[in-house]
Structure 1
Amino acid sequence: MVEKFSKNFFLYLSKNKVLNKGAKKWGLKLGAAQVVAGVSIDSVMKTVKHLNDKGLVCTVDHLGEFVLNKEEAVESTQVCIDTLEAISATGVNCNLSLKLTQLGLDIDRQLCIDNMHRILEVAKKTNNFVRIDMEDYAHYHVTLEILDELQKKYDNVGTVMQAYLYCASKDLENLKGRSLRLVKGAYKESTDVSFQSKEEIDKNYLAIIKQHLLNGSYTAIASHDHEIIENVKRFCAEKQIPKTQFEFQMLYGFRTELQEKIAAEGYTMRVYVPFGKDWYGYFMRRLAERPQNVSFALKGLFSKK
């Protein structure tokens, strides 16, 4: 009961625009610096280089969720382009992740699509890949529609499937052969569209991972759950699925020893590295996922730095 209240509380806070605005003034306080790699492209490139040196590959995400006008969407698009160019210039092993709302989806759908075309052209030119992060269910279907439209022209773009959605397995069939990141899901959704219990979500998560792998599709397993990770390793060994067909993904700042262990075993281990001033919503969802993460906030709050 306490854990459920904690999750709902932090998810509620994550959508508070007033607190998000204030968070930009606070800087990376409340422990966020432990899970967000600075606010600039230079700072995140240094972090990525450090992770690469440890045998880890990365994907970076310029955080931004409360985009309210065309100018902000264009600015976010330019940061994505600048980030791709910085990745190319520094030679780090890194992809780009982004959210469609960041590019203006809630303002104008065509604006968002045009911005994605600009980004994907640069990604194509620099031989890179762009992952569209899946947002809440209100944006689910339009994200898949835009992905389908983009993939008619580009083969360097993919998205995310969330295991807590009832429709995940069915929609996965329509995405056969496409590169997908598979996650449990981090938003609060109603019983009309999603599983609610951890047991049901975990069961469906393993099921869609195996489904996508058996379809011969490239699969990114984004989880910090060591039991699920070991289950996937055994399954791939039994089915003789090559390590080149899948990768594991974890968030920057979490389970770093396990990340390095997986990489040392010869698996691709990709670290999701967020950066930027708009860190508030991302950080609140991390606190919602695991009550233990609240310790990050307490350490940051009482830090003298």
Structure 2
Amino acid sequence: MILEAISKNFFLYLSKNKVLDRMAKRFGTKFGADKIVGGETFSQAIPLIETLNHEGLQVTVDHLGEFVNSKKEARERAQECIETIQAISHHQLNSEVSLKLTSLGLDIDEELVMENMEQILEEAEKLGITVTIDMEDSSRCERTLAIYKALKENYPNLGTVIQSYLYKSEEYVDELDPYRPYLRLVKGAYKESGKVAFQEKQKVDENLKGLIKKNLLNGHYTAIASHDDAILDYTKRLVKEHGIPNDQFEFQMLYGMRNQTQHELLKEGYTVRVYLPYGEDWYGYFMRRLAERPANIAFAVKGIFTK
């Protein structure tokens, strides 16, 4: 347990190292990241999405990258997202889009974020594609939810994320209830202090179960984003006990993770969506995945020694 905690903190530390990030961009995704990242451009990800769709899996794509430094860069990111939405429609892919508000200028100007989001959502609404606002660290959580609330009234095909490791996550679900939210419920992947987040896995897990139950019983569409068998089994028992139809929820898993489980869930009649990230800024995402599960390190080792 101690070694696992050390490993997690080590990879979370590496995820923020700018020197290693620059090196990663030079070398590309060959160091194992191609096992969990769909490519450096959306065009590279299209064949993967088509394959996943053919297997019966739905997809959500995320153009990796956070913390833009200028309004120009934020607007470029918004345009890239619009082009991705258009490509999804053009290629008739069964895919949604996930995005981070920091990539659209959250830390620069909130009016800029709203402008960018409205342009993205207008195109998504026109083409019938759902967009989910990813959640970032706790310092940006409440601003993210405020923007979600402001946009949700005009754009019903908009979802967001709640992280169960935060003490206030149940309060957030209650606040969102009047908005009939589409929520992706996750444990959380950022390093947070004990002032705002549970530090014990058991408490994070129990809180996630409570959030799943609350949002489903509130009658709202729920994405259970977990690779944890205990969470999957809990959800199956819950929906059976309360007669919740399968079209009110879905399971979400990361691309390259637990592929066999994904297909087993499909065979059982559940909707399964694969979270497929792409982009040149893959390094931080890759390090956070290594931090979550030590077994993921095998992907990196194989990537280094395999041509």
Task: Decide: shared fold, TM above 0.5.
Answer: yes
For the residue of structure 2 that corresponds to 1:166, the secondary structure is: coil
Matched, 1:266 2:269: yes
2:226 corresponds in structure 1 to 223
Contact kept, 8 Å, 2:67 with 2:105, in 1: the verdict is: no
2:120 corresponds in structure 1 to 119
Q: Which amino acid aligns with 1:211?
A: K
Once the two structures are superposed, what CA deviation does each residue of 1:10-66 show, in whole Å capped at 9, x if it has no partner? 111112222222211110022100000111121111111100000100000011114
CA distance in 2, matches of 1:88, 1:134: 25
CA distance in 1, matches of 2:18, 2:154: 36
CA distance in 1, matches of 2:110, 2:305: 43
2:184 corresponds in structure 1 to 181
Matched, 1:67 2:68: yes
Unmatched 5+ residue regions in structure 2?
none
CA distance in 2, matches of 1:129, 1:138: 26
1:252 corresponds in structure 2 to 255
1:230 Cα deviation after fit:
1.3
Higher mean C-alpha displacement, 54-63 vs 294-303: 294-303
1:108 Cα deviation after fit:
1.4
Q: Which amino acid aligns with 2:226?
A: S
For the residue of structure 2 that corresponds to 1:105, the secondary structure is: coil
Q: Which amino acid aligns with 1:122?
A: E
1:162 corresponds in structure 2 to 163
TM-score by length of 1: 0.98
How many residues in Structure 1 have an aligned counterpart in Structure 2? 304
For the residue of structure 1 that corresponds to 2:207, the secondary structure is: helix
For the residue of structure 2 that corresponds to 1:175, the secondary structure is: helix
TM-score by length of 2: 0.97
Of 289, 293, 305 in structure 2, the residue corresponding to residue 290 of structure 1 is 293
CA distance in 2, matches of 1:153, 1:256: 36
Higher mean C-alpha displacement, 181-190 vs 109-118: 109-118
1:302 Cα deviation after fit:
2.0
CA distance in 1, matches of 2:165, 2:217: 20
Unmatched 5+ residue regions in structure 1?
none
Give the % identical residues: 54
Contact kept, 8 Å, 1:55 with 1:264, in 2: the verdict is: no
Q: What's the RMSD between the two structures over aligned residues?
A: 0.9
1:198 corresponds in structure 2 to 201
Contact kept, 8 Å, 1:65 with 1:281, in 2: the verdict is: no
Once the two structures are superposed, what CA deviation does each residue of 1:256-304 show, in whole Å capped at 9, x if it has no partner? 111011112111100000011110111010001011111111111222x
1:301 corresponds in structure 2 to 304
Matched, 1:211 2:217: no
Contact kept, 8 Å, 2:67 with 2:107, in 1: the verdict is: no
